[in-house]
């Protein structure tokens, strides 16, 4: 099975980071957290959960920070997740299936289900909110300050919306 690095950008995420990391442990060979010099226990929590933590200032450039994380990844595949997101068990199984196939011609877009006031937002264009998150590291880079763009040479494939990320914005 192909090896996968999970990439997380974080700053003061001590309330959320454990659940995020726990949701990817089943398929991640590496969890890499790029910490923007958190003033809470984020970095310590990540290290205690087995993540590799690199501290680096965001400096208002989200795309550059994500690009840095891609370059630091140790594995051939990357999965990008935000600290306020969780991988469902169904999505975890789909990711493992993709890694077993190890076809680096594809990048995978994942449906994201956002919650607001404890309720899932399934109407009004909120679901499925597809985002590119699983792809080969080789040839991947990220541009953009706030609204980053993940650039790659792969054909994009949408995973079934029944295999989604949960997002708690």
In the chain, where are the structural domains located?
4-167
Strands (E), the chain: 4-10, 30-35, 52-55, 77-80, 85-87, 106-116, 119-120, 131-136, 141-143, 149-151, 155-158, 164-167
Just give the CATH number of 4-167.
3.90.550.10
pLDDT of res. 123: 87
Q: Distance between CA 160 and CA 94 in Å, rounded? A: 9
pLDDT of res. 125: 86
Q: Distance between CA 165 and CA 86 in Å, rounded? A: 6
pLDDT of res. 59: 94
| Rg, C-alpha atoms of the chain | 15
pLDDT in tens, the chain (169 residues): 999 999 999 999 999 999 999 999 999 999 999 999 999 999 999 999 999 999 999 999 999 999 999 999 999 999 999 999 999 999 999 999 999 999 999 999 999 999 999 999 998 888 999 999 999 999 999 999 888 899 999 999 999 999 999 999 8
pLDDT of res. 27: 98
Closest by alpha carbon to 47, among 82, 15, 21? Answer: 21
Residue given tokens 């994500």 in the structure block: 66
Closest by alpha carbon to 6, among 86, 63, 62, 60? Answer: 86
């Amino acid at each position: 099975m192909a090896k996968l690095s999970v990439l997380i950008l974080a700053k003061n995420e001590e309330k959320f980071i454990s659940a995020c990391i726990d949701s990817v442990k089943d398929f991640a060979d590496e969890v890499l957290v790029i910490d923007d010099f958190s003033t809470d226990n984020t970095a310590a929590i990540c290290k205690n959960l087995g993540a590799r933590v690199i501290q680096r200032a965001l400096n208002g450039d989200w795309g550059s920070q994500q690009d840095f994380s891609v370059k630091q990844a140790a594995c051939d595949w990357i999965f990008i997740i935000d600290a306020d997101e969780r991988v469902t068990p169904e999505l975890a199984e789909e990711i493992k299936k993709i890694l077993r196939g190890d076809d680096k011609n594809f990048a995978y877009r994942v449906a994201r289900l956002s919650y607001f006031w404890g309720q899932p937002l399934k109407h009004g264009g909120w679901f499925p909110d597809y985002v590119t998150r699983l792809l080969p590291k080789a040839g991947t880079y990220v541009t953009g300050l706030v609204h980053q763009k993940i650039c790659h040479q792969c054909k994009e494939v949408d995973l079934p919306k029944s295999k989604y990320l949960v997002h708690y914005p």
